[in-house]
Structure 1
């Protein structure tokens, strides 16, 4: 069906709902596309059908290093034979310690081709000494046979850890190495003694492809066992409802980190599955990296755009004045996809305006819901909706269980071939992850856009696991309340933590934007700033005026002078807050939050 708003071939939402006494089951009415056996099938297909099309590219000096599908297949087969010659297989994982690069992608695909699992890690685990604890935890957990970095000198401290003694280190750049290092180019040479076709023939849908570690926001990171089937099914699920992806090869210019399932599995595999082109953006949506992102987009714009809300906000603001960027970004854009958090409606509107100014019609603007454990897409918006915040409907081949409460807020549980079967080496956590019917317990909450029309989709409504009771026994939906607070305090704060377990009122710990703090007026970890206090007081009072009952009313707040600490695990590698760790580490500030005489307290 050609949608009149976007001009794209789209499949409308069509949901089957079955209700019982205590839960609701949702399924898509659409059939699932054919599923390939493994990622090598896609690579062979496009190397045969479009051998000269660019698949992977990264910045090199003033230009781009570009590899075609034929070149990538040759490199992948060389790497696969080198790994097989070393006797590597399902039980000899490779840990990838550096960020996105063409060599990173080649090693990952070569390992998948040979049936060797990889475990890509956040590069800050290796580059920031204070984060080495997380790196050591993973190394001790999976005991890799090989470790890869892009630059041996830059990662010298990390690859020198005793936990990597006896592990083969492979590096793209070997100059300045402080220990024996294998050049990545040596892996590319391959090993003629290996029958690489026979090696690849052993790779089945159940072959382990990746061990992806969760962000560890509430405990130590868990290793999600990601199979070939999970990744291949997930691409078929999305292709089933986004048929335009099959009609012309997509192109993306993307920075999202590959140690996360969104960037490394969702986006990389979407390009591979559809014969697309992946330009690696070496910028980021930060003050330091944004100019590079703009430069990269101007050089190699895409047909699809994936980002987190803060990234889209920066691009929308820049396009208000940078007409050349707006032209490059919007002229050929089919789809704009946000994830990680809700996109502020004003940013959504600004992006719509930029698209209309440049091309006279809108791209498909959508979001999705997923986790590392779900490969990731499980619930997805696949028709125009005209507003932010909706995560969509179940994808074909998935089954959604909703457990509603009295307010029709529902706990979300999921089942399907894209869902993991277990965590690495953790049978206890695995058992805890599933209910008696085999559904993954996500800990997330959703609501219907319209309870009388399930095809309208679902809205994310916070984390059930973050909820707590006040002293009165009233439940506080902390995840939802946090989103409300962030919305009303936008521009003033970086993040907030909802407090109040076993208290009589809800309180707020605030991490302010540094630019909003006037002078150095800290008091034992809290900020005393009359101007900022007044602004926060005014906005929280406005929020309180719309609240009904103590479970939805924030009555006190304290502004924290110390940013979340990576060293003390208050912040995960995704940038999200580890709420449990913050509340534990800053217990004294929680007490001050409920001390009515404390000068740092903002009483609402």
Structure 2
């Protein structure tokens, strides 16, 4: 049990209204309006610098300890860096481009830019460090025309910078220089004398000022620069604190690894801490076999009050918690809520996680997810009712109007709120296509009622409309729900799946294996093809496939064959984002030879065990 008893987390009690139009469209919203919010996010930085100057705002690993910055120190640094950026002519049309990952230096640069109306854009480091052709980085540079590049250590980014950016674009860094290019260190920027220009620029920042750009993953083409205004950021945080009411009672403590170039952490988590005067511990780990050790080390020391991870990250933490008492105690000591996103959570992981929470905390800890996108702040829907299984996305936040529009037998989700983007930077065509005739943003996703006709019970993801396809019989396949269900049915053998079968008679799946689970099943320290071919692995998968087939209700929900993927999904080809979410269409397109093999006599294909039949 937890060392310190904690009270059940205070959460919202929303009153939900629903309107049904004659055309079949459904409108859902909360009865209560959104409370007032500040005109700019850095108002909160200045507020906490005055109210709690010595409180730690942000911390990151420094050997065996933590390097920290207080709110007062952050406010002083932001003003000086902002002056340095103004002196170098940065503006909305010449924004700050950030190439390196999460760090205190990154955070100070981003806040300094937005303090004086200069947008920043954090880019996935892989675009510069993993990519070999820099194609997406070139697209981004062309869209933004940056006035400065920040890379914490300039040296590893030098090849990408020299290949993509003209010599007139200066570079800011903590360490490393680029010969022949104008370079400035963060220390020099922090030493800039502050003039009245900083306060004048800050006062000119308003709700419509562009705070930053966030790029979509680019899995279906070039990354798109989604405009993030001050109104978006501030209104979204007021929605969040209305929902997570416990944040008003105690400043949050967050231990977070997720990249700031994504909206989940770069907007929601980063600003959740700043808005509520909390402390952000940058987790230098990742939910990967190698990276999880650093996350475990951090969570053995720091007790979060609100925690976010992707499902595979929770799975890895659970594996460690089974034998690490200190990790369990520290993790749950002050925990009020656990959130997952980025992928569907399988029922085995859900059951294990809720069981451990129930064991450690009287009454358990809420495990929940929500729904949103880069274009919506991201917070739009949230579930705070205890569930028996994963998948309920909850109800609209205050200020959000949810519109469900019939599309065949599906309901397409659209929203309107102050936290929705005004559009895509320098792309009027994409902007126009993103909104309907009433100004609602189109997700491109379908939702269904968790309980038919009852919006208070929440909504379930019902597939991405562009991913769905037809079998040769004309039967539609709802890919999103099937991916989640089939991953569940493999009972821990898979971290995700990709569904194939368009214009074919039956469905098949390419399966992303959980390598540690397969090794445990095989009972041998094998890798790659040898592990995937192990008889115990294939026999268990065949049995799981047979059990799945027996439960299926028809051809559109029955996977008839599967193949484990030996080679990892590739970032450069748009198959997976650096957050770990999979693009179904991209995988099928780039791995067509494996799709063909699924429907032939390839020895890697696994069919249902004979006891289950087909």
TM range (shorter): over 0.9
Alignment of 1:339-418 (within 5 A): 339-404=341-406, 409-418=410-419
TM-score (norm 1): 0.93
Contact 1:218 1:581 in 2 (8 A): yes
Match of 2:555 in 1: 550
- Deviates most, 115-124 or 342-351: 342-351
Question: 2:390 is paired with a residue of what secondary structure?
Answer: coil
Quick one: distance in 2 between partners of 1:511 and 1:326?
Answer: 28
Deviation at 1:574, TM superposition (A): 2.6
Q: Deviations over 1:390-449 (max 9, x none)?
A: 111000001111134676x52211111111121122222222211222211112122222
- Call closer, same or farther: CA 1:284–1:532 in 2, change over 3 Å: same
SS in 1 for 2:443: strand
2:404·2:414 contact (CA, 8 Å) conserved in 1? yes
Matches within 5 A, 1:57-456: 57-130=59-132, 132-174=134-176, 179-404=181-406, 409-456=410-457
* SS of alignment partner, residue 411 of structure 1: strand
2:312·2:495 contact (CA, 8 Å) conserved in 1? no
- Find the aligned partners of 1:205 and 1:115 in 2 and give their Cα distance: 11
TM-score norm. by structure 2 comes to 0.91
1:527 and 1:63 map into 2 onto residues whose CA distance is 41
* Structure 1 stretch displaced more, 247-256 or 583-592: 583-592
Q: Which SS does the other structure have where 1:369 is aligned? A: strand
Instruction: Give 1:97 shift.
Output: 0.4
Give the 3-state SS of the residue equivalent to 1:465 in structure 2: coil
Equivalent residue number for residue 587 of structure 2: 582
Q: Find the aligned partners of 2:295 and 2:6 in 1 and give their Cα distance.
A: 28
C-alpha RMSD of the superposition: 2.5
- The 2-side partners of 1:329 and 1:140 are apart by 44
Alignment of 1:560-599 (within 5 A): 560-595=565-600, 597-599=601-603
SS in 1 for 2:260: coil
Cα distance in 2 for residues equivalent to 1:346 and 1:177: 53
Structure 1 residues 118 and 233, CA, compared in 2 at 3 Å: closer, same or farther? same
- Is the contact between residue 5 and residue 384 of structure 1 (CA under 8 Å) also seen in structure 2? no
- List per-residue Cα deviations over 1:469-492 (Å, max 9, x = no partner): 112111111111111121112433
- Does structure 1 retain, via aligned residues, the 8 Å contact 2:308–2:340? yes
| Structure-2 separation of matches of 1:561 and 1:506 | 20
Listed as ranges, the gaps of 5+ residues in structure 2 are 609-614
Structure 2 CA distance for aligned equivalents of residues 236 and 91 of structure 1: 29
Residues 331-340 or 167-176, more deviating: 167-176
Change (3 A) 1:183 1:318: same
Checking the alignment, whether the CA contact within 8 Å between 2:213 and 2:228 is kept in structure 1 is yes
Pick closer, same or farther for the CA change 1:437–1:267 going to 2, 3 Å: same
Q: Distance in 1 between matches of 2:337 and 2:466?
A: 32
Match of 1:538 in 2: 543
CA contact (8 A) 1:5 1:362 kept: no
Deviation at 1:117, TM superposition (A): 0.6
SS in 2 for 1:373: helix
Moved more, 373-382 or 235-244: 235-244
Cα pair distance change 1:58/1:552, threshold 3 Å: same
> C-alpha offsets along residues 47-88 of structure 1, whole Å, 9 cap, x if unaligned?
111111111111112211111111111111111111112222
Kindly report which structure 2 residues correspond to 1:476-555, keeping only aligned pairs within 5 A, or say none. Answer: 476-514=477-515, 516=518, 531-555=536-560
Instruction: Report SS of the residue matched to 1:555.
Output: strand
Task: Give secondary structure in 2 for the equivalent of 1:195.
Answer: helix
Cα drift, residue 89 of structure 1: 1.7
* Cα distance in structure 2, aligned partners of 1:33 and 1:241: 12
Alpha-carbon deviation of 1:520? 8.7
8 Å contact kept, 1:153–1:178: no
2:473 equivalent in structure 1? 472
Say if 1:431 and 1:498 are closer, same or farther in 2 by CA, change over 3 A.
same
Deviates more, 1:480-489 or 1:502-511: 502-511
**Post-superposition CA distance 1:290-343 (Å, at most 9, x none):** 222122122222211111111122222322221111111111111212112233
Once the two structures are TM-superposed, the CA of residue 282 in structure 1 deviates from its matched residue by 0.9
Q: Which moved more, 1:490-499 or 1:226-235?
A: 490-499
Asked whether the 8 Å contact 2:83–2:198 carries over to 1, the reply is yes
Question: What SS does the aligned partner of 1:461 have?
Answer: strand
Distance 1:16 1:603, change over 3 A: same
Residue 217 of structure 1 contacts residue 576 of structure 1 at CA under 8 Å; is this kept in 2?
no
In the alignment, structure 1 segments of 5+ residues that lack a partner are: none
Structure 1 residues 514, 59: CA separation in 2 closer, same or farther (over 3 Å shift)? closer
The answer (yes or no) to whether the contact 1:390–1:459 under 8 Å persists in 2 is: yes
1:192 Cα offset (Å): 3.9
TM-fit CA distance, 1:23? 1.2
Match of 1:10 in 2: 11
Q: Tell me if the contact between 1:25 and 1:400 (Cα under 8 Å) persists in the aligned partners.
A: yes
Number of aligned residues:
597
